[in-house]
Chains A and B, each alone.
Chain A
Amino acid sequence: MIDPLICARAVVFAATMTAAGAVFFMIFVAEPACAGAKAGASVLSTVRVQSKWIVWTSLGLCIVSGFAWLILTAAAMASRPAAEVFSGNILWTVLSQTEFGNDWLARFVLAVLLAAAVAASLPSSSAKPAWLNPVSAIAAAAFAGSLAWSGHAAGGIGLEAVAHPITDILHLIAAAAWVGALIPLALLLGAAARATASLPIARAVVLRFSTLGIASVATLLLTGIINSYYLAGSIAAVVTTDYGRLLLIKVALFFAMVAVAAVNRLRLTPRIVEDASPVAVLKAIGHLRMNAAVEAALGAIVIIIVAALGTLPPASHAQHHAAYGSVPADAAFVHIHSRQGMADVTISPGRAGTASATIHLADEDFGPLDAQAVTLTLTAPTTGSKPTTRIARRDIDGDWQVDGIALAVPGNWAVVVDATLSPNKHLLLDAPIVIDPAQ
């Protein structure tokens, strides 16, 4: 089942990277490399038109998928079906009163500004005003960096509220400058390789892009380390959850991208720069173009993973028919969280009738929580119903089990887990759990 929210986010992220990356590439790589070079004007003109189409197509995709993202997120925030967000002011409330909505509006304005800046640098306009490049670069950086407020970096408190978005903004700009510039790089190398006269341009471009790439990877590394400060202690959760497994795939892909970049930098770039033979240079350019395509493809998978990571269900979100982990499809599930610890309660089958409950206890860092005894108390949603308390038995996995629970009626039951941690210390957790009607 493909999640439309993940699709919308992935398209917005990828298109933002390519739009901003193409602008960075033109300003910081292509234009300086072509300036004054023989055949520079014709190569630049070709790449400028291609980059323009990349930026406009990307911005178009951003706007279309951005609307889908807005509608799906508004529906999620209001806990209403997507079709209902147009009624009852939900959409306007999201746009005007939430950080996500404000960021969405700001990004829309930046997209229009970026499209206008790119239009103003048409190849026919011989003399570009001096302010156009700085404005374009700032708009592209703001467009990429503003994605920080649509993810997990938003919402921190204290110092994190300032530092986490800043590092995320730099992380996003660096990613755009590297991954987003790969397609225009491949196109420019293709244009420069068409004539021997323009091969020096390819050399200059490869050297400049190499510098940009090293700066980007260094920034990604530094911002990643600073971000890790805010997540200290969560490594156990990272390696034991679906979220963590996705992150590990992302790590592997990043290493693959860095490995390809290292081959480009250490093996192919010297051949282009030093080798006098046009045949060898053309061969190296061919390899570089292929590697750029491989890096871009790996980058696209990383972006899809990032889009998915941001939508993973929150740990304390009471939910029914959980779509993750090992919760059976027909079970009712609730995660109950307090400062002292947490419990995952799974009632299977999650419908009226006779069912079994499994209680998994964990401390606040998702580590094992040892209890001497556990009771489970369930209260039916009917008025005046008495709570039923059952003693749980420990199973071989260390979880706590209660069998033969009579769930007389469907509805929003109250569940209380009482774990005896020591003779004088209890962990008491309670939450509602939804029981479906009998089949």
Chain B
Amino acid sequence: MRTMMIVATLLSIVLGTAAAQAHAHLDHASPQVGSTVTTAPSEVSLWFTQNLEPAFSTVEVFDATDARVDQGKAQISANIMRIGLKALAPGSYKVRWHAVSVDTHVTEGSFTFNVGGS
């Protein structure tokens, strides 16, 4: 019983404070990270592991020449970012995201996806 109490206490203290995973990581995206899609998507959606602060979170999409191909302002709600796209020609596109989670931490990253198998 005493050992169980000690183990339970140890666990509760070790895990009682949320670990470093409590930041907004990119969970998945549509189009998927690194994927090739045959039809040009009309928007990019990103799902994060934490809720986001819309005032400080951004997402931008670039083509191979580093020109913006998104429609400007992202829609951010809870843990999802969405941004509309201009008509995309076949090619490689880069999505750069900057996420501020509601626990104030900043994460950023990027990924690419391809349209039309190029």
- Partner of B16 from the list A97, A220, A310 (CB cut-off 8 Å) is A220
B16 contacts A317, C-beta separation under 8 Å: no
A224 contacts B11, C-beta separation under 8 Å: yes
B18 contacts A78, C-beta separation under 8 Å: no
| Interchain nearest-CB distance for B79 vs A (Å) | 5
A314 contacts B107, C-beta separation under 8 Å: yes
A317 contacts B56, C-beta separation under 8 Å: no
> What residues of B have a CB within 8 angstroms of the CB of A78 in the complex?
56
Give 22 pairs: A residue, B residue, CB < 8 Å, sorted on A: A76-B105, A98-B53, A98-B100, A98-B104, A150-B103, A154-B103, A155-B51, A157-B51, A157-B78, A221-B8, A227-B18, A228-B11, A230-B18, A231-B15, A243-B19, A314-B107, A315-B23, A316-B26, A316-B107, A316-B109, A337-B26, A339-B27
B107 contacts A224, C-beta separation under 8 Å: no
Chain A residues in the interface with B (C-beta under 8 A): 73, 76-79, 93-94, 97-100, 150-157, 161, 164, 171, 220-225, 227-228, 230-231, 234-235, 237-238, 241, 243-244, 247-248, 250-251, 254-255, 258, 306, 309-310, 312, 314-318, 336-339, 383, 414, 428, 430-432
- Partner of A314 from the list B10, B23, B94 (CB cut-off 8 Å) is B23
- Partner of A317 from the list B22, B94, B106, B111 (CB cut-off 8 Å) is B106
Indicate if B1 sits at the interface (CB-CB under 8 A): no
Q: How would residues 90 to 118 of chain B score, 1 for a CB under 8 Å from any chain A CB and 0 otherwise? A: 00001010101111111111111000000
A237 contacts B20, C-beta separation under 8 Å: yes
A431 contacts B109, C-beta separation under 8 Å: yes
| Chain B: CB-nearest residue to A258 | B9
Known A-B contacts A73-B104, A220-B16, A336-B109; the reply to A237 vs B21 at CB < 8 A is: yes
| Interchain nearest-CB distance for A310 vs B (Å) | 8
> What residues of B have a CB within 8 angstroms of the CB of A225 in the complex?
8, 11-12
> What residues of A have a CB within 8 angstroms of the CB of B110 in the complex?
414, 430-432
Q: Considering the chains assembled together, what is the distance between the CA atoms of A76 and B110 in angstroms?
A: 20
Known A-B contacts A157-B51, A157-B78, A337-B109; the reply to A251 vs B66 at CB < 8 A is: no
Indicate if B86 sits at the interface (CB-CB under 8 A): no
> What residues of B have a CB within 8 angstroms of the CB of A224 in the complex?
9, 11-13, 15-16
**Candidate in A155, A223, A238, A339 with the most chain B CB atoms within 10 angstroms:** A155
Q: Considering the chains assembled together, what is the distance between the CA atoms of A327 and B54 in angstroms?
A: 32
A77 contacts B104, C-beta separation under 8 Å: yes
- Partner of A318 from the list B23, B78, B109 (CB cut-off 8 Å) is B109
> What residues of A have a CB within 8 angstroms of the CB of B11 in the complex?
224-225, 228
| Chain B: CB-nearest residue to A416 | B112
> What residues of A have a CB within 8 angstroms of the CB of B10 in the complex?
251
Q: Considering the chains assembled together, what is the distance between the CA atoms of A137 and B28 in angstroms?
A: 44
Q: Considering the chains assembled together, what is the distance between the CA atoms of A383 and B11 in angstroms?
A: 52
